[in-house]
């Protein structure tokens, strides 16, 4: 079992993003997620982001309703993601609620990228039955990797996450956010999660409960997993 860590980079300039990407590689991240929703207009140069080191890259342009910064037109948001696919990003994060999701998935695949279809519940962790149905909808939408992220309101919400991970065959990223969700954020890869997320530095934390790459690696090292 190899535990994979994806470094999330939520900054608003290509120069700063490149610096953080370089640090992420040095800290032994396995993937990098560039949060394109943090960029504004002409400050975004997708091609330059692709050229930042030999590492797998995810393009994310997260909607405000799912915890992101993007507040523009949906059509423009999708165009940015398709451009990222065309320029060489390996994975494109597409929200399950994306309009005409199957058409967008097809376009992304034709451009040579893999769709990571995501769902976020920022208020709670639904029942195991609902989580399974969300996963099935992502599979039906032809995700290469599925992603389900929730908010933990009880320590027992982590058990729901672990049970889902054990039951699913398709690659799945799944954990709960917040202090109570820390067990699933850290342990999800042990239960079969495709990878988990971390930040390069706490100043650039992209979500509640997120650890740094170095903190995550230290935890896994103490557990004898890396």
- Do 212 and 200 touch, CB atoms closer than 8 A? yes
Give the whole-angstrom CA distance, residue 121 versus residue 123: 6
- Provide the pLDDT for residue 42: 65
Residue-level pLDDT at 27: 96
Q: Specify the pTM.
A: 0.95
CA distance 175 to 185: 5
Residue 60 near residue 7 (C-beta atoms within 8 A) = no
Question: Model confidence over 61-111: pLDDT tens digits?
Answer: 999 888 899 989 999 999 999 999 999 999 999 999 999 999 999 999 999
The CATH homologous superfamily for domain 5-222 is Aldolase class I (3.20.20.70)
Nearest in space to 148 (alpha carbons), one of 180, 179, 181: 181
Per-residue pLDDT tens over the stretch 7-44: 999 999 999 999 999 999 999 999 999 999 999 776 68
- Show me where the domains of the chain are located: 5-222
What's the pLDDT at 89?
A: 97
The residues annotated with a catalytic role in the active site are 120, 147
């Amino acid at each position: 079992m190899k535990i994979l860590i994806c470094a999330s980079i939520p900054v608003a300039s290509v120069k700063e993003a490149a610096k953080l990407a370089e640090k992420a590689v040095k800290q032994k991240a396995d993937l990098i997620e560039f949060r394109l929703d943090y960029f504004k207009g002409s400050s975004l140069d997708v091609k330059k982001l692709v050229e930042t080191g030999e590492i797998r890259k995810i393009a994310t342009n997260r909607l405000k309703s799912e915890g992101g910064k993007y507040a523009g037109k949906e059509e423009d948001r999708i165009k940015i993601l398709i451009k990222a696919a065309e320029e060489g990003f390996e994975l494109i994060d597409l929200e399950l609620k994306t309009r005409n999701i199957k058409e967008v998935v097809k376009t992304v695949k034709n451009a040579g990228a893999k769709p990571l279809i995501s769902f976020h519940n920022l208020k709670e962790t639904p029942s195991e039955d609902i989580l399974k149905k969300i996963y099935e909808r992502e599979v039906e939408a032809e995700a290469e990797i599925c992603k389900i992220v929730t908010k933990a309101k009880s320590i027992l919400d982590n058990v729901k996450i672990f049970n889902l991970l054990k039951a699913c065959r398709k690659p799945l990223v799944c954990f709960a956010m917040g202090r109570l969700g820390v067990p699933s954020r850290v342990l999800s890869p042990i239960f079969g999660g495709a990878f988990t997320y971390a930040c390069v530095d706490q100043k650039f934390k992209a979500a509640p409960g997120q650890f740094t790459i170095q903190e995550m690696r230290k935890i896994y090292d103490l557990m004898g997993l890396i």
